[in-house]
Amino acid sequence: MIRIGIICPSEIAYRRFLPALKETPEFSYGGVAVATKEEWFQEQVSEEKAAAILGKEREKAEEFRKNYGGEIFEGYEAMLASEQIDAVYLPLPPALHYQWAKKALSYGKHVFLEKPFTPCKKEAMDLIAAAKEKNLALHENYMFVFHDQLSAIKEEIERGGIGDVRLYRVSFGFPRRAAGDFRYNKALGGGAILDCGGYTLKLGAMLLGDKAKVVYAKRNYTEEFNVDLYGSAVMENEKGDTVQISFGMDNGYKCDLEVWGSKGSIFTGRILTAPAGFVPSMTIKTAEGEQVKELPADDTFKKSILKFRDCVRQKEEREENYKVIERQAELLEEFMELSK
């Protein structure tokens, strides 16, 4: 049994992680950690402000305990120091991933990180080195990679109905979030490329293979925020196959994959975000007409947790996952360099 705790009572932990964790009997839920004043605030704040913010965090944690049990740990480090916890799920804002993942590894805990793993390759490589030294598991939670719809689409392409692939297009974006969302805060690791953009790079590399490279990249800004709000890129492999990607977090909603072939095209609209049980579909257009096919439903969060389980238990899985994390960090770095 792997005893896992959560660093910070976040929405995704409550809404997605814990329901999926209930379906994985190899794990037991140990509880959630709420930050101390010193852990939460990097600058001096009034006692009133600190009490208000940390009070809301505790209210969230109480909801976790009410509905899922587990302990409330007074401080992130208190959880990491606990002998009752083997692993941690870390859904903090991206700029805090390195600090708390490194500390978790120092306490001998396996680490399940929300995406992006870290904002830069240097930090990612340092965490991988620390995990290797202690034989600990690391996992980056890009859930969509486990969805069976990807295999079904690949099979349709390989069947040859749309001919030879000429171009892939991947688009992922959503309307502006509420005021105060960390995605729009540079100090917390905000920015579209670190959020929705990472998904598009990940899928682009899956479509093109191990030799995929980012060959064009663009980040777009507005005067209102100091982070990129939307962007685009082109990826290519050694054969010249191409993926055009676009992303944004001040956009109309899109979550699309289009495969344009010599004889037709394939389109699907929930390629990155299909929730558990949702039945996606793909539209196939050729000279013979248009056909809509259902794709498999799936539970990608559960599968992501099971992947983490395998990394905890098996050295070969851990080593392979280090490479997967490093690959994504390389693609992100390529994008950052080209879009300066």
Q: What is the rounded CA–CA span in Å between residue 149 and residue 265?
A: 16
| Four-point Cα dihedral 103, 65, 92, 118, nearest 10 | 60
Report the Cα–Cα distance between both ends of the chain, in Å, rounded: 46
The DSSP output letter for 274 is P
Classify residue 212 by burial, with Cβ atoms within 10 Å: 0-12, 13-18, 19+: buried
Contact 227, 190 (CB under 8 A): yes
Which residue among 115, 213, 285, 293 is the active-site one? 115
For the question of residue 115 being annotated catalytic, the response is: yes
Q: Give the angle 67-196-166 at the CA atoms, nearest 5°.
A: 130
Instruction: Report d(CA 184, CA 9) in Å as an integer.
Output: 20
- Return the structure tokens found at 159: 């069947």
Q: Confirm if 225 and 150 have CB atoms less than 8 A apart.
A: no
Residue 291 token pair: 């056909």
Catalytic residues, by residue number, are 115
